Structure 1
Amino acid sequence: MRHLACVAGGAAVLLALSSPRAQEPSAEAPAAEAPAAPAPAEAQAPSGEPDGEPERAEPPARPSAPVGQRPRREAPAQGSPAPARDDVLSPGFRERMRVALGPLEVAPIALLALQAAPYVGDDALNQAGDSAEQPGFRLRRARVGLRGDVAGLVRFAVSTELAGGDEGTARIHEAWAGVTAERALEVYAGARTVPFSRSAMLGAGDGALTERPLAVRAMAPFTQVGIQAEGHFQDRAFSYHAGVYNAFQRADQFYAGHSESLAPLGNRFEGIAFAGRLATEPRGPLGRALQDVAHSPFRIGVGADGFFSNGGARTLYGASADVLLHAAGLHALGEVLWTGASPKSVPTQPISQVTSVSSLALVFEAGYMIVARKLGVSGRVEWIDPNIDVDDEGDNLALTGGVSYHAYDDLLKAQLDYTHREELGGLSLANDAVILQLQLSL
């Protein structure tokens, strides 16, 4: 009963935050909100607790224009109503927040997410990928920064995660700049998202549920330092990404995921990593959000990617493929991820791994916006095998269901999720959780 009372209290908070003045805005232009490249994502902290995950930090994608000429803003996507000029939060509000200073345009980055856990199983553990270990509150993300461009020729973003790590110490989340004069060849350098897994490349504030899939948090490299090239053709009918980075590092505990390295000592301990991705959205851009918040026409996106990291302690490699559908308020996502790790005979850093390990995961998520741009429901199923040669309690079936309420479009929303994890081998653990999240995203 105590848990039910906590959940009811959380629901009351949601209703209190939902302003009666909030009108249902018309659809944002996916092309105007979708950046030229997926935004940086952070890796898991070395301690094993998933770190604050990224939002899309780039300004909206723009068609190429002659040097020195500011590109035109892209028109709303097909099926999207025209924005209301007198509504501050109508579609495209992020674009209207940009401030022009001559050829320089800048806009704020802000991501604030507060989580409450009214119920958590006794065996929940952050290092095992669980969102909480005890009932209570968590400042999941607190991010500030700036993004912008110079005359459409150079794009940049710098942001800081203020709630990083167990101690809540501030750290750099992303820091990059790129030459973007030609859509067919954009080049970026700095700390940015590795192009691996659609779910990892989505912004942290753009998911249908409070967290990315557990498999993705464990297997994707997220933000790393390096140089990337990418190109987009025919309104994203075809896209490519390719990058070279410092070699990746991951924790010995599978669900703790990869470490994020901002290379304060350069490439002192690592080697070199490579990653690439091919993708298509043949019926037009899907936009920045995973949900089909605006009840758009049918659209589909397909992608495949891979990485190879020749590190000093381990050789890491992986591949993934994904499909995302949007249609009249429905979204459906399917992903398959495979990764491997082989320890070096003389590692440059201490590790406990002594033999090669291959991991495999399948993810399926579907949801529907019951009220466009207001109320949606989603469910996700994950099958995860951290070591395909061993059957133990690390083999998981994770089931997550949730509801999301958008008080002001994607600026302010509330999400309530329930996750059940079933260990497929070994001991069954009590690690289910109910998570309520309130989020502000710019």
Structure 2
Amino acid sequence: MRHLAGVAGGAAVLLALSTPRAQEPEPGADEPAGARPADAQGGAVESTGEPESAPETAARPEAPEPPRERPARAAAAAVPPAPAAPGAARDEPLGPGFRERMRLALGPLEVAPIALIALQAAPYVGDDALSQAGDSAEQPGFRLRRVRAGLYGDVAGLVRFAISTDLAGGDEGTARIHEAWGGVTAMPALEVYAGARTVPFSRSAMTGAGDGSLTERPLAVRAIAPFTQVGIQAEGHFQDRAFSYHAGVYNAFQRSDQFYTGHSESVAPLGNRFEGIAVAGRIATEPQGPLGRTIQDVAHSPFRMGAGADGFFSDGGARTLYGASADVLLHASGLHALGEVLWTGASPKSVPTQPIAQVTSVTSLALVLEAGYMIVARKLGVSGRVEWIDPNVDVEDEGDNLVLTGGVSYHAVDDLVKAQLDYTHREELGGLSLSNDALILQLQLSL
């Protein structure tokens, strides 16, 4: 018996020493980069990123150290990846950390592909659903929600760049630039980026478009966050993201007269013709270490918490826009919990440079609460979200919404291929109650 006990004890010690971080989350955005930004910073951070994320584990020991930022999360800040579980790279070619192993080294230059494909099917859609009001579909059928392709590069950790294109943008499916930026990243305390990148505002916006727990970011975030804009950003990260900051100057933001349509994302091909200048900033902390790229705790990690606060001011030619948000995200043993509060205002100019329908100042407020659990690590999870949205705090009408979304996600190949099924109930709190619920199935490939 003593011999058996000694053997069992020795095996337990060896197991503990051999897999200390095998199930820790993948490093990434606050985002999203989001840019995942990139839609996220993390994201981005679409990020975003992105972020998300915002918004993987490391390569084999003999491989060169990968860049500290996931390519598709263009707006995400750089952070070194966690080590992979021993043997994971050899035994599981598409296991945790596969993205880091896909980078191609050309001397000091490392390049990696960016790809995101999301196909949505809507078996059920309410008769009153309207895309201009933020609904995912107007009729039952199929939708190519996202098709994104691009390239990410890193030059000896001193310079990073990314360019990606949305190939299914707008109703006509026309291609448009999603992100295009380059930056000097020699010092983690001061990284400077220029180009089209996710504005550091809202954790969900900075998390990558493909890194959420549900098929879409919160409706409130899509309506309020400015997402990708052209400008110059500076950011810094200290003590493994125990403290981070972001600050940027951009062309002034433009938004639609319809609140739920949100901001336009312009790459300014003709320069700053009609607008002024916008500024944005964010501070964040992840005191227990990086939360990882995704909103879900896909890897059943130890307890981690992240919190952030941000704001923007845009002195545009047609409107003065301003906003602020704060967020908290928790990960613990497969459980995630997210809370965000968003506030924004818009005041029309007396002599606008472009035609607008807005004639008075409007203040908007929204609250987002989300929670979920990965039933099987890196395989199967469930999530639920509640949103309270008031587009104009001075008016009570059907624009005031309570949005309830619940869904399940199945990761077929780690986070490369996954399927998500969501049901959204949208209740108008004032005025006429509309039939705009929807059931959405999404199949996604994210690289």
TM-score tier after normalising by the smaller chain length: 0.7 to 0.9
**Structure-1 separation of matches of 2:31 and 2:405:** 31
Structure 2 CA distance for partners of 1:140 and 1:207, relative to 1, 3 Å: same
How far residue 27 of structure 1 moved from its aligned partner, in angstroms, is: 3.7
Instruction: Report if the CA contact (8 A) 2:34-2:47 is conserved.
Output: no
Q: Is the 8 A contact 2:147 2:168 kept in 1?
A: yes
Sort the Cα spacing of 1:403 and 1:298 in 2 relative to 1 into closer, same or farther, 3 A: same
382, 385, 388: which is aligned to 1:380?
Answer: 385
1:411 maps to amino acid:
L
Tell me what 1:427 maps to.
432
- Quote the residue 2:259 is aligned against: 254
Q: 1:323–1:36: structure 2 CA closer, same or farther, 3 Å change rule? A: closer
- The superposition leaves residues 147-198 of structure 1 with CA deviations (integer Å, 9 ceiling, x where unpaired) of 0110110001000000000000000000000000000000000000000000
Partner of 1:7: none
Q: One-letter code of the match for 1:406? A: H
Looking at structure 2, the residues matched to 191 and 52 of structure 1 have their Cα atoms a distance apart, in angstroms, of 11
Of 72, 76, 79, the match for 2:83:
76
Name the SS of the counterpart of 1:61 in structure 2.
coil
TM-score by length of 2: 0.86
- State the Cα distance separating 1:60 from its structure 2 match: 4.3
- Aligned residue for 2:90, secondary structure, equals coil
Q: Check if 1:30 corresponds to 2:26.
A: yes
SS of match in other structure, 1:30: coil
Q: CA RMSD in A?
A: 2.3
- Which residue of structure 2 lines up, in the alignment, with residue 405 of structure 1? 410
**Matches of 1:419 and 1:433, distance apart in 2:** 5
The 1:361/1:100 distance shift into structure 2, 3 A limit, reads same
Uncovered stretches (5+) of structure 1, i.e. residues with no partner: 1-25, 44-50, 63-70
Pick the aligned partner of 1:39 from 11, 20, 34: 34
SS at match of 1:218: helix
Q: Deviations over 1:4-27 (max 9, x none)?
A: xxxxxxxxxxxxxxxxxxxxxx64
Contact 1:52 1:163 in 2 (8 A): no
Give the CA deviation at 1:28.
Answer: 6.4
Unmatched 5+ residue regions in structure 2?
1-21, 40-45, 56-65, 70-77
Quick check: 34-43 or 140-149, which moved more? 34-43
Query: Which residue of 1 is the match for residue 178 of structure 2?
Result: 173
Structure 1 pair 375/169, CA: closer, same or farther in 2 (3 Å)? same
Distance 1:400 1:36, change over 3 A: closer
| Paired AA for residue 132 in structure 2 | Q
- Separation (CA, whole Å) in 2 of partners of 1:52 and 1:426: 36
From 352, 357, 360, the counterpart of 2:362 = 357
Alpha-carbon contact 1:248-1:316 (below 8 Å) kept: yes
For residues 413 and 53 of structure 1, the distance between their equivalents in structure 2, rounded to whole angstroms, comes to: 19
Selected match of 1:61 from 46, 68, 76 = 68
Native 8 Å contact 2:47 2:198 kept in 1: no
Identity of aligned residues (%): 82
| Counterpart amino acid of residue 224 in structure 2 | M
Specify which of 323, 331, 339 is matched with residue 326 of structure 1.
331
Once the 2 structures are TM-superposed, how far is the Cα of residue 219 of structure 1 from its aligned partner?
Answer: 0.3
Distance 1:270 1:284, change over 3 A: same
Aligned length: 400
Write the letter of the residue equivalent to 1:394.
Answer: G
Q: Does the alignment pair 1:115 with 2:120?
A: yes
1:377-432 per-residue CA deviation (whole Å, 9 max, x = no partner) reads 00000000000000000000000000000000110000000000000000000000
- Alpha-carbon spacing, 1:52–1:235, altered in 2? closer, same or farther (3 Å): closer
Q: Counterpart of 1:249 in 2: which secondary structure?
A: coil
- Counterparts of 1:194-209 in structure 2, within 5 Å, are 194-209=199-214
**Structure 2 residue 375 is the aligned partner of structure 1 residue 370:** yes
Aligned partner (choices 170, 182, 190) of residue 195 of structure 2:
190
Q: Residues of 2 paired with 1:367 and 1:72: CA distance?
A: 25
CA contact (8 A) 2:25 2:301 kept: no
Query: CA shift at 1:76, angstroms?
Result: 2.8
| Cα distance, 1:60–1:124 mapped onto 2, change above 3 Å | farther
Structure 1 position 125, deviation (Å): 0.2
Asked whether 1:272 is paired with 2:277, we answer: yes
Which aligned pairs between 1:83-102 and structure 2 lie closer than 5 A?
Answer: 83-102=88-107
Residues 124-146 of structure 1, C-alpha deviations (whole Å, 9 max, x = no match): 00000000000000000000000
Aligned to 2:349: 344
SS of the residue corresponding to residue 204 of structure 1 reads: coil
Does structure 1 conserve the Cα–Cα contact (< 8 Å) formed by 2:47 and 2:208?
Answer: no
Runs of 4+ residues over 6 Å off in structure 1: 51-54, 56-59
Is the Cα–Cα contact under 8 Å of residues 27 and 294 in structure 1 kept in the other structure? yes
Partners of 1:292 and 1:316 in 2: CA distance: 34
Quote the Cα distance in structure 1 between the aligned partners of 2:398 and 2:251: 33
